[in-house]
Structure 1
Amino acid sequence: MDIFLMVLGGLGLFLFAINNLSDTLKDLIGNKANKWLNLFTKNLIASILTGTVATILLDSSSAVIIMTIVLVNTGALSFRQSLGIVMGANIGTTFSSQLIALDVGQYSPIPIFLGLVFSFLAKSEKITKTARVVLFFGILFFGLYTMERAVEPLKDHPEFLSWMEKLDNPLRGTLIGALVTLVIQSSSATVGMVITLAKKELIHLPGAIAVMLGAELGTCSDTLLATIRSDRQAVKTGLFHLSFNIICIAVGLAVFPLFNKLIEWVSGSAVIEQKIANAHMIFNIAGVILFLPFIPMVERLLDRLLPNKEKVPENEPSLTTG
């Protein structure tokens, strides 16, 4: 029971930090991010780079994709411009995995303290918001550190270890990853938990990669919700995000053993948490590269499934009976 409560507390801190960090960063650079999205989406490669950078800055792929859907819905961005941003957001979200893989949790009280001090003492609103970003980064890593310490006793729990070994089955692990992400609404939190478990040798690399694949699917739920009551262009952006992730996951599962070997080879003697972060980054970058040649075909397919509604001219007389 103590373990469960500590894990729940750590996860709560992590989710609290992620949500507030994303909101604070959007508040700090949100308008600029909107301008960047408009300015640097002239071609597909530029859109991908923009989506990547915006996600790294906002620390949330969902925030960037939802922002993109909103901009498409308002007509500020076209459906074609949104495609690269969505793919870039998938690359940008792997940056947080690399940060989580670093063993910095024990130092998390430092940014928490500094963030609190400067947010209280700063007279400038910009400095206050920047201090809050530092504060939430500290809370994020402290939440991970709390979970890491909480799960340590599970190393001697045979039933838990037996259940975790079942995640090595690619399909089972993927479904669990998708379900967990659907519940907690954060793929970063799912990957963070997997890395935390890996640090304590509670999950093997195949199981961790399978759960990571599932997290990519689960994260589509909130972006699909953002398309409700949106126009067809925005709905197509949400559907593209879903189809892109499903196809990438299907390919990942099809070559799962080879992908595991590739990660082992690329990572060499790196610790398992670094291997998981590398797997997350390589998978998402490879997915974008492999998907690039099929973008025109997918765009045409979605345009055919959801054609633009033809607007009736306002001055056109309506037909009446009588």
Structure 2
Amino acid sequence: MPRSASRPLLPALLALALLLPAWPGWAQPAGGQAAPPMDWFDLAMGCTAGLALFLLGVALLADGLRAAAGDRAKRLLGHATDGPLRGLLTGTAATTLLDSSSVTIILLIGLVDAGLVGFAQALPVILGSNIGTTVSSQIFALGIEDFAPILLALGLLARALAPEPWRHWGLALAGLGLVLFGLGTLGEAVKPLQDQPGVTEWLRSSDAPLRGMLIGAAFTLLIQSSSATLGVVITLASQGLIDLPTGLAMMLGAEIGTCSDTLLATLGRSRAAVRAALFHLGFNIVSVAAGLLLIDALAGFAAWSAGDTAQQIANAHVAFNTVGALLCLYATPALARWMDRLLPDGRAGRPATAAAE
């Protein structure tokens, strides 16, 4: 299995610093009208608590799902060789089970490195993993934070009382409850920002597609989870702090930032494993570039698909990742041959391990 999904508090604090910089315009909005008084310390503590609970919940959810379904997902990945469509569906299912495209791709890299899955067969699975990440954004957009205590209680009861195989599912359920609780805490913490014109103006200035994309990529690099980034973006949108173009740009940036883990996982592995990670990075860069060029069309679809901004962003996430994967799916054999010539077989470093540890 890959390294633990547990995240220290430092990334949460760094992410808070990214979202809430000491911006001079925040204290005095344009036009000279003073913003309503606000306790910035309470805001910082509330955001820190919400982000920390959210990231802890993501870690528990991932740990529980990997323990409960990790071997099943690994076997599933190992049999994803019967055509591009099956590979796509396999990657989608495995990522849904593991709640992490990075974990899916790291496991896949291990299988490719060991020769258990061919490089060409791995590419549709990688595309499917991008679709699988959209499940969590739909959950975040449902606005079911009020049910977080129920999920926490049920998860803890299962963890304590259920037979061994079900205890891991209990941990995952408790993790999901903590994720929703953290999002609810974060949402309550940022509500006062609605009355700070300087803050809302700065956040909405990120609707410049390139700027918003860079913020989304940087945030994802800090917290090492595109799903977590989408959760925060959807929460900010639900509070009216960012508009649809800003949320879409940040969503696109998260697709770039999520590639860091998979690139690190290729250190010392075979060229085939390196090619798999480079395909993931290249596909995400090309698709995000296309998304930036077509962001008005994406925003138009999102606005048509739902009434509130949070759900619009989640729906756009599904459409963007699904359409991109399907457009590329049947080109994967040609792409695999091209990458074989670009980076021929050979060792990239130390001897390969049998699978992702």
Q: Is the 8 A contact 1:41 1:50 kept in 2?
A: no
Does the aligned pair in 1 maintain the 2:124–2:329 contact within 8 Å?
Answer: no
Q: Tell me, yes or no, if the aligned pair for 1:114 and 1:131 is still in contact at 8 Å.
A: yes
Aligned-pair distance for 1:134? 1.3
Q: Paired residue for 1:31?
A: 71
Letter paired with 1:70:
G
1:82-93 aligned at under 5 Å gives the runs 82-93=122-133
Deviation digits for residues 107-146 of structure 1 (CA, Å, limit 9, x no counterpart) = 1011111222232223x21122121111111111101111
Instruction: Provide the residue aligned with 1:317 in structure 2.
Output: none
**2: CA distance between counterparts of 1:107 and 1:260?**
30
State the distance in 2 between where 1:292 and 1:77 align.
17
C-alpha distance after superposition, 1:68-102 (max 9, x if no partner): 11111111111111101110000010010000001
Whole-Å Cα distance in 2 between the matches of residues 82 and 20 of structure 1? Answer: 28
Name structure 2 gaps, 5 residues minimum: 1-40, 348-357
RMSD: 1.3
Matching of residue 178 in structure 1 with residue 223 in structure 2: no
SS of equivalent residue, structure 2 residue 331? helix
2:158, 2:198 → 1: CA distance? 46
Pick from 272, 293, 300: which aligns with 2:309? 272
Query: Which structure: greater helix fraction?
Result: 1
CA contact (8 A) 2:120 2:336 kept: yes
Deviation at 1:293, TM superposition (A): 4.3
Aligned residues: 307
The more displaced of 14-23 and 169-178 is 14-23
2:150 corresponds in structure 1 to: 110
For residues 255-281 of structure 1, the C-alpha deviation after alignment (integer angstroms, 9 at most, x for no partner) is 11122112222x15x211110100000
Aligned to 1:297: 334
1:18 aligned partner: 58
Given that 1:167 and 1:207 are in contact with CA atoms closer than 8 Å, whether structure 2 keeps it comes out as yes
Secondary structure of 1:309's aligned partner? coil
**Residue matched to 1:97:** 137
Could you state the TM-score of these two structures normalised by the residue count of structure 2?
Answer: 0.83
Pairing of 1:239-258 with structure 2 (within 5 A)? 239-258=278-297
Letter in 2 for 1:17: G
Cα deviations across residues 14-51 of structure 1 (Å, max 9, x unaligned)? 11121221122111121111111122331111000000
What is the CA-CA distance between 1:246 and the residue it aligns to?
0.3
- Give matches, 1:125-274, under 5 Å: 125-265=164-304, 267-268=305-306, 270-274=307-311
In structure 1, distance between residues paired with 2:330 and 2:126? 16
Whole-angstrom CA distance in 1 between matches of 2:346 and 2:316: 42
Q: Is the 8 A contact 2:150 2:177 kept in 1?
A: yes
CA contact 2:237–2:310 (8 Å) conserved in 1: yes
Question: Deviations for 1:158-204, whole angstroms, at most 9, x for unmatched residues?
Answer: 22111111111000000000000001101111111110011110000
Instruction: Tell me the SS of whatever aligns to 1:151.
Output: helix
Structure 1 counterpart of 2:340, one-letter code = D
Rounded Cα–Cα distance in structure 2 between residues aligned with 1:115 and 1:274: 26
Whole-Å separation in 2 of the counterparts to 1:63 and 1:187: 12
Separation of aligned partners in 2, 1:69 and 1:8: 34
State the structure with bigger RCO (CA 8 A, min sep 6), 1 or 2: 2
Same amino acid, percent of matched pairs = 46
Question: C-alpha separation between the residues in 2 aligned to 1:297 and 1:214?
Answer: 27
- Distance across 2 between alignment mates of 1:274 and 1:24: 27
Once the two structures are superposed, what CA deviation does each residue of 1:230-267 show, in whole Å capped at 9, x if it has no partner?
A: 110000000000000000001111111122112222x1
Q: Secondary structure at the match of 1:165?
A: helix
Q: For the Cα contact (< 8 Å) 1:110–1:138, is it kept in 2?
A: yes
Distance across 2 between alignment mates of 1:36 and 1:289: 20
Could you list the runs of 5+ residues in structure 1 that have no partner in the other structure?
311-322
